[in-house]
Amino acid sequence: MATVDKPFKRYCKTLTLVDDPDLIEEYEKVHGIGAAWPEITEGMKAVGILDMEIYRHATTLFMIMDTVVDFNHDQAMTALAAMPRQAEWEAFVAKFQRTDPKSSAREKWKLMERIYELDQQESCSSEEGQVKT
């Protein structure tokens, strides 16, 4: 994940895919190395996302998103939605996802609450993110 020498915030999210093996295969392809539209990656970096990983089990996706420490999730997702090609990307990937096709990424990807961490020192809410060092 984040390879920075200073604190960062971590958010975890989930989303469900349509249960169709062909669509799941295509979804993975459009997220393969070099396949995501450059404007999407650039937009994420511009709002303070340092790193992002998406994992899949069957139709369940799990995202780990590391951000700058002063990241405000709601403000950043609103700003990201207004960036070039973001709405087009969301419309494109909507066919793979069990969500309303008109939903923004913020509405599709649901924040998850952390319930356990090895050697946990403090609690955090899903909206605030967890500061990591």
Domain with residue 25: its CATH number is 3.30.70.100
pLDDT above 80: residue 42? yes
The widest CA-to-CA distance across the chain, in whole angstroms, is 43
Residue 4 has pLDDT above 60, yes or no: no
* Residue 72, in any domain of the structure: yes
Q: How far apart are CA 127 and CA 112, in angstroms?
A: 9
Handedness of CA 125, 126, 128, 131 (dihedral sign): positive
Mean pLDDT of 105-112: 90
Does residue 119 belong to any structural domain of this protein?
yes
Is residue 4 included in any domain, yes or no? no
Structural domain count of the chain:
1
Tokens standing for residue 10:
């971590």
Query: Which stretch of DSSP H or E encloses residue 111?
Result: strand 110-111
Residue 2 lies in a domain: no
pTM above threshold 0.85: yes
- Radius of gyration for the alpha carbons in the chain, expressed in angstroms and rounded: 15
Domain hosting 108: range is: 10-132
- Give the model's confidence band at 1: pLDDT under 50 very low, under 70 low, under 90 confident, else very high: low
The answer as to whether 3 is a domain residue is no
Q: What angle do CA 122, 123, 124 make, to 5 degrees?
A: 125
